Structure formats: C-alpha cells, structure tokens
Chains A and B, each alone.
Chain A
C-alpha cells in the first residue's frame, strides 16, 4: 500500500520566480513526516509538487525529479491524473462538494470518475472510509444529508474519508488542522496515528506541538528573506529536530525565538 518518496534536487518556479530551491529528501513508507517553517517558505508549494497539484496554478513548473517507488512523477508521458490517484491530498480548509450528500462526498473519487459500483460495494466502501476517518458514528444516520451541514471538524474528517476512499498510497495534508478547534484537532491527530499503519503521510503544520506529537521525521524549511527562494534547512528524526538540532536556525525556530 504505502510507498517510498524520493526527491532529488527539486526547484519549483512560479513563471520565473524561484519559490523553492534544491530540495532533496527521502520519505520512508509507513511514516509521518512533518514539514515546518515560517509562512511563505515554500512548504505548501513543495508538498503540492508531490502529487503535481502545483500545476493547477498557471505558470508553476518544476526542475528535478520526484520518485515514488522509483517512478519519476515528472518523467515524460506521466499522466498527472494517475499520479493523483496514488497520492491523495487533504487541504487547509475543509472543502466537501456542496452539491453532494455525505455518502456521495465519500464516494466522490469513484463517482466523479464515472466508475460503476454496486449498491452494497458502495455502502461498504462508505462505511470503511468513514470508520477510517473516525466519523462513522457521527454521521451513519444521515448519510443522505448534504456534507456542508456538518461542523468544520467533521467536514475535515469527511475530506479525509474522501481521500482514503480512493485508496491512495500516500496522503498529503496541507495544514489540515489550522481551521479547527483543539478537540477536532485531537481527533485528526489520533486518526493520523492510526493511518500510519497503512499509508505514507506527509503533513504541513504551523503547530510545533502537533509536529512533535504526530510525526516520526521532521523537515524544517526557511527563507533568507522576502523574494528569496525557500530551502530545506534540516531533515531529521522529530526527536532530534526538537531536542538537539544541528542547525542554529532550526533551534531558533522550534524554540520560538523567531518565526
């Protein structure tokens, strides 16, 4: 199920502006990797290159390679749609489809791709995904109601259920808890802990405690100043990053002396 991600010397551009420079990183399967760093340092830009979502923004392009189990995402003839079926993504703000019911939201990855599915299979997949996202007990009696009627935390877990229903190998999370209250945040952190058994998870977060609670490895990104490209400063075990980092900037950031 889960796969190994290897990034070699990746540069990301917006038209001619170099946003992220020279990132090389290896993410092992069945781990949680946290990206931390000040705003605007390119964490979100970088995480979006891991499933080619940055291409949605006009003018965005990359140099370098991203290998998922040895397959280069940026090789010639690679279909971004196939990439995204293997590398799912959860966004900063919960974004359930407003025209669909809760169940249809969970099955969106199947239904939107025009794949047919029997009623029992659909119900089984819905239950499995919603149980996986820790939401089943809260919504099992109202699967036919619109997804936009749920609370913010429930909507975010619905989005996670939607992402795992297509059974990806890797799940990217771009600040999944930044719009949520502490209790919903805790629910999602527990969920990440469980999902680690099956998926490779990459999470961007501004919350240092969250990074130290959920992640096995942590990558610290930084920029030298406005207009300069973001760089990967340090990448190590989470305990090392938070207790004994090798770079001064990392220590300043995690201890709250700047940023």
Chain B
C-alpha cells in the first residue's frame, strides 16, 4: 500500500450528518411508549379511572414532533429538522382527516351487519312487517329506478350544455348559462324537491301527488349542474391542436366534436357522471316530498309512492314500531347498503375511466 492511501481518508465536502434509516419510526414508537408509560402510571396510581388510549396516542405524537425536531436539528441541521417536523405535521393532518371516514364506515358496518345479513333483507319488502325481519328490496329498486331515470334525464342535457359552452358558446348566452349553472349548484336539495312537487301538483291538479318520476326530476335538477361543470372541465382539457388537426383534414365541426373531442375526453366525462350520481343517490329531502314512502314494492315510476334507500333509513329511524331495535338495525343496514352502492359505482367509474382512457402503446 502506498503512503497516499494510508493518509487520512478523503473527506467529501458534500456530506452532512444523517440520522440512521428508520430512526423516525423508532422515535415515534419510543414517544408512544413514553406516553403510554406516563398514562399507565397515572392509572396505576389511581389518579384517573382506566387507561387513556386516545390521550396516549395524542400526547405521544406531540412528543414525537418535538423529539424528532430536536434530534434532527442536533444531527442533521435546521433545514432537515424543519423538513422532518413538517412531514410529521402533514401526516398527522392526513390521519385526522381520515378519522371521521373510518369511524363512519366502522360504525355503519358494526351496527348494520346484523340486519344486513338476515336472509330476507334483499329478497322482500317491508310489507306487513311490524317487528323484526322484512327487507329493503323495495327501497333498492326504488333508488335504482329513480337515480337511473335522473341520470337518463341529466346526462344528455348536461353533456349537450357543456358541449355548447365549450365548443359554440360565445357572448351573453354562454355567460348566462355558466352563471345559472353556478347558481343551480348551490340550490338546497329541499328546494329541488319542492320545485318538482309544485310542478307536478300544478300539472296534474293533485295537491297530494307522489310518484317516482317526480323524484327523478327533482334529482336531475341537482344533477345537471354537476354534470355540466365536470364535463365542461373535461372538454376544455382536450388540446385545441386535436380540433385543428381534424379541421385541417376537412372534417366538419360536429363530426370533430363527435369523433375526436368526445372520445378523447370520454374517461373524464364518465367519471364526472359517476360522481354526480354518487352526489344525488343519497338525497333524502326531495324524495321524501315528491316520491314519498311506502312499505311495498313499486316497479312503476309513474304512479304511486316509491321507496328509496335514504328515505327508508329516515323512516325506519323516525317511525320506530314496538320493537324499536329492529327498526334501528334496519336503518343502519339500509345506510350500509347505500354506502356499498356508492362504493360500487365509484369502482365502476374507475374501471370505465381506465377502459376509455387513451393508451400509450410503447
């Protein structure tokens, strides 16, 4: 070995102090352990009743923020320390934002599962049921019919309106449409219900009118602005170069929209439609007014009252019978069914978006 290599090792001026890998994890666990020890001591000494888990986690996390900042500042310097502190705070904010969601799903599953798993739940209605038992089939059918009809009405109107706004609309009319769509987005759902009720009560001269189609109209009043807004954003995302390329090939404008613009933005439009369905499928107030509630099956949108899932949940809770626990169980199970339908729709939207999205073939 030459004397050069035996001399002091070369120092790299770019190196800086660094905490060992996974040190953040260990510090977090240690903080929780310390916090747990403190709360355990409080418990054992008899100062408080029971071991406080929430306190342990909250106090331990605060302790972690302080500990990682001090430790990192000593070893890695102030820039890295700020980075680690911010990472801890951002992650904590994320977890806090997630807590209510997890709590809702957990509560609904735990409370809803008993009635959800009864054999008749998806095969029968509530007709002639006074105590436990019966099912939710009439409400599932009603929700699917009413929301499906609302979608059938809203998607063509909303999509065509957004095509007008993006491709043709100039001047006052387009501005007025945009303004009223924005206003419609903010309409309280009960107003939509009252609108549909007033409309049909006057049309058919029947002050007690209740039917599923009216519910679909009320829901489409809520749905159209969402469809217009989301489709408009998606159509705007289509690069102008594609439209120009089609025009330069001598393609008329309407064919360019139909065969170039729409296919290119189809994935986003479908996702927007699915989200708008998820937005209205849980509406209770307008359906309570115009679709009413019933315990029986009804496959006809155009006559008689029609039950829907949100209204089912509401009536089960509001009008409990003698065996009140059975009604509350059914209410939770109905809520669980609704959540599952929305989840299913969202999953479907992702699949459709994946199928339609332009592929990069390399």
Contact = CB atoms under 8 A, between A and B. Distances in A.
Contacts of B250: 81-86, 109, 113, 166
Contacts of A96: 245
Given A145-B361, A146-B358, A108 B263 contact: no
Interface string B241-269: 11111111111100110011001100000
Question: What are the 4 closest A-B residue pairs judged by CB atoms, nearest first?
Answer: A85-B250, A98-B358, A89-B248, A145-B361
B22 interface: no
Given A58-B170, A95-B239, A99-B263, A81 B362 contact: no
Contacts of B247: 53, 56, 84
A53 B248 CA distance: 7
Nearest to A95: B241
Interface residues of A, number: 34
A257 B361 CA distance: 46
B249 A149 contact: no
A112 interface: yes
Contacts of B263: 99
B359 interface: yes
B358 A112 contact: no
B76 to A, nearest CB: 43
Given A81-B250, A99-B358, A162-B249, 17 more contacts: A53-B247, A53-B248, A56-B240, A56-B244, A84-B248, A86-B250, A95-B241, A97-B246, A97-B264, A108-B246, A109-B249, A109-B251, A111-B259, A149-B360, A149-B362, A159-B245, A166-B250
A88 interface: yes
Interface string A131-165: 00000000000100110110000000001001100
Contacts of A89: 244, 248
A85 B248 CA distance: 7
B113 to A, nearest CB: 44
A144 to B, nearest CB: 9
A114 interface: yes
8 contacts: A53-B248, A84-B247, A85-B249, A91-B244, A91-B248, A95-B245, A97-B246, A159-B245
Interface of B: 170, 239-252, 255-256, 259-260, 263-264, 358-362
A51 interface: yes
Interface in A43-75: 51, 53, 56, 58
Given A84-B247, A108-B246, A99 B361 contact: no
Contacts of B249: 84-85, 88, 108-109, 112, 162-163, 166
A93 interface: yes
Query: Interface on chain B toward A: helix, strand, loop, or mixed SS?
Result: helix
A81 B358 CA distance: 27
B362 A99 contact: no
Contacts of B251: 81, 108-109, 112-113
Contacts, number: 87
Given A99-B358, A112-B259, A88 B248 contact: yes
A174 to B, nearest CB: 10
Contacts of B358: 98-99, 146, 148
Contact of B246 (A51, A86, A98, A112): A112
Contacts of B170: 58
Interface in A77-133: 81-86, 88-89, 91, 93, 95-99, 108-109, 111-114
A109 B251 CA distance: 7
A142 B358 CA distance: 17
B241 A112 contact: no
Contacts of B264: 97-99
B242 A97 contact: yes
A159 B362 CA distance: 18
Given A84-B250, A88-B249, A53 B244 contact: yes
B360 A91 contact: no
Contacts of B248: 51, 53, 84, 88-89, 91, 163
A97 B360 contact: no
A237 B289 CA distance: 80
B220 to A, nearest CB: 29
Contacts of B361: 142, 145-146, 148-149
Contacts of B252: 81, 113
Contacts of B359: 146
B352 to A, nearest CB: 15
Nearest to B249: A109
Nearest to B246: A112
A148 B241 contact: no
B109 to A, nearest CB: 41
B167 to A, nearest CB: 11
A100 to B, nearest CB: 8
| Among A58, A84, A98: residue with most chain B CB under 10 A | A98
A85 B252 CA distance: 10
A142 B239 CA distance: 25
